[in-house]
Chain A
């Protein structure tokens, strides 16, 4: 799986598809308020775009998206989601109650943005975790 398939069709089509998949994934993550979608679905699509790069480009994809980046992004998402919950506790709310003391914002608007950032962090988390699982499986059998 580490050698690039020498096919010009696969090479061109994959490179054209990846940015479109990523843009649509960001749309799915950020429009979770209005349409079906959210962090989990968009994160899976981001991970699928990276795995498409891995399959089609082979070694070259590790220069663009290193192996270590997967679990780093996933861990960042989990940590940021947890800190979002603890931040509202610091302002007197419950865990993940989004009771942050931002001046000029009502409770409804705060919950709106709390949901938004929770979805974004879930997107990072799922993206990184699935790419890390793929890389761990792909590098298996190393003696």
Chain B
């Protein structure tokens, strides 16, 4: 099984190396990546937005929607980790407790009557 995996990786690696022969030379000004929209950014970033740092102009202006998606991914990661890692306890009147109510309750001391697991850890 290990031999099979190594042979498979070797075949895939040879395909990838074979594919690099079609790539343009590094820094070639005539390569497709340098003939497209990047020329416009280099020439017009300061004229369009008065921003000397071209990277910032591309990040927050020309590619603002992409940056917005990246930023929302970060917030989604924070929300998911809060939802997965925190267990919220219900208050005695049935309403939802605060986000960190379980943590605060444990810091304040064990309280068996309201603990959802039925006892102090």
Contact across chains for A129 and B75 when beta carbons are under 8 A apart: yes
Contact across chains for B56 and A119 when beta carbons are under 8 A apart: yes
Choose from B47, B55, B68, B87 the contact partner of A82 (Cβ within 8 Å).
B68
| Interface assignment of B10: CB less than 8 Å from any CB of chain A | no
| Interface assignment of B7: CB less than 8 Å from any CB of chain A | no
- Determine the main DSSP class of B at the interface with A: helix
Contact across chains for A137 and B50 when beta carbons are under 8 A apart: no
- The interface size of chain B toward A, counting residues with CB under 8 Å, comes to 40
A-B contacts counted at CB < 8 A amount to 124
Contact across chains for B67 and A118 when beta carbons are under 8 A apart: yes
Query: Contacts A108-B49, A112-B50; is A122 near B61 (CB within 8 Å)?
Result: no
Contact across chains for B107 and A115 when beta carbons are under 8 A apart: no
Contact across chains for A142 and B59 when beta carbons are under 8 A apart: no
- A100-132 vs B, CB cutoff 8 Å, 1 = contact: the mask equals 000000001101101100110010011011101
Contact across chains for B103 and A98 when beta carbons are under 8 A apart: no
Chain B's closest residue to A2 (CB) is B107
Contact across chains for B71 and A122 when beta carbons are under 8 A apart: yes
B53 cross-chain contacts in A, Cβ below 8 A: 32-36
| Interface assignment of B86: CB less than 8 Å from any CB of chain A | yes
Chain B residues with a Cβ under 8 A of chain A: 47-53, 55-57, 59-61, 64-65, 67-68, 71-72, 74-75, 77-79, 81-82, 84-87, 98-100, 102-104, 106-107, 117, 121
| 11 A-B pairs (CB sep. < 8 Å) | A2-B107, A71-B78, A74-B75, A85-B65, A112-B50, A118-B67, A129-B75, A129-B78, A132-B81, A136-B78, A137-B81
Closest 3 CB pairs of A and B: A96-B64, A129-B78, A111-B49
Chain A residues with a Cβ under 8 A of chain B: 2, 32-36, 38-39, 59, 67-68, 70-71, 74-75, 77-78, 81-82, 85, 95-96, 98, 108-109, 111-112, 114-115, 118-119, 122, 125-126, 128-130, 132-133, 135-137, 139-140, 142-143
